[in-house]
C-alpha cells in the first residue's frame, strides 16, 4: 500500500481536548484509516500490533492513558520542563504554561447561552488589542 503525504492545516479545534481525540482528528485530517496508520507506523519500526490497539489509543482521555504518556509526563514534571523538550522537538527547556490558566469554566447546559458565548468569543478573537482592552475596561 502506498501512502501519499498530505499537508494538513494548522487549525486546532479545541473541542478535541483529549489526546486520543486529537490523534483521531489528526488521522482524519490526513484522510487515513486506522489500518493505514498502523501499517505506516510498523514500516517505521514502531510496533502497533493492531487496528484495535490504534482504536484504544484514540480513546485515550488523558495523556497518562497513552503508552509512555505517564512516564514522559513524570520526567517532564520532575525536571520542570516540557515533554517536547525531552523528545527534542524544541530547544526551549522552560516548563509549559498551564493551559487552563486563562480559562473560565461555565456549565453550558443552555444551548442558546452556549451559542451566545461562542459568538462573543469569536468576536473577541477578531478584535484588535485596543478594542479588547476597551471591551474589558468599559463598564457600560
Q: Would you list the domain boundaries of the chain? A: 8-66, 68-97, 104-140
| CB count in 10 Å sphere of residue 50 | 11
CA distance 106 to 103: 10
What is the reported pLDDT for 102?
56
User: Cell 509526563 belongs to which residue?
Assistant: 73
End-to-end CA distance of the chain: 62
Kindly give the parts of the chain with pLDDT less than 70: 1-17, 97-107, 138-140
Helix then strand count (H, E) for the chain reads: 7, 0
pTM higher than 0.75: no
Per-residue confidence (pLDDT) for residue 61, from 0 to 100:
84
What is the predicted pLDDT for the residue at 33?
92
Cβ(80)–Cβ(92) under 8 Å? no
What pLDDT, on a 0 to 100 scale, did the predictor assign at position 18? Answer: 79
Amino acid at each position: 500500500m502506498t501512502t501519499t503525504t498530505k499537508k494538513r492545516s494548522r487549525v486546532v479545534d479545541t473541542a478535541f481536548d483529549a489526546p486520543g481525540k486529537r490523534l483521531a482528528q489528526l488521522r482524519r485530517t490526513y484522510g487515513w484509516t486506522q489500518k493505514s496508520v498502523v501499517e505506516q507506523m510498523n514500516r517505521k519500526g514502531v510496533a502497533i500490533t493492531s487496528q484495535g490497539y490504534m482504536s484504544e489509543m484514540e480513546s485515550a482521555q488523558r495523556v497518562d492513558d497513552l503508552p509512555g504518556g505517564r512516564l514522559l509526563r513524570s520526567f517532564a514534571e520532575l525536571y520542570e520542563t516540557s515533554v517536547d523538550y525531552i523528545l527534542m522537538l524544541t530547544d526551549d527547556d522552560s516548563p509549559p504554561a498551564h493551559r487552563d490558566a486563562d480559562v473560565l469554566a461555565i456549565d453550558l447546559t443552555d444551548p442558546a447561552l452556549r451559542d451566545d458565548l461562542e459568538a462573543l468569543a469569536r468576536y473577541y478573537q477578531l478584535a484588535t488589542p485596543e478594542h479588547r482592552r476597551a471591551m474589558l475596561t468599559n463598564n457600560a
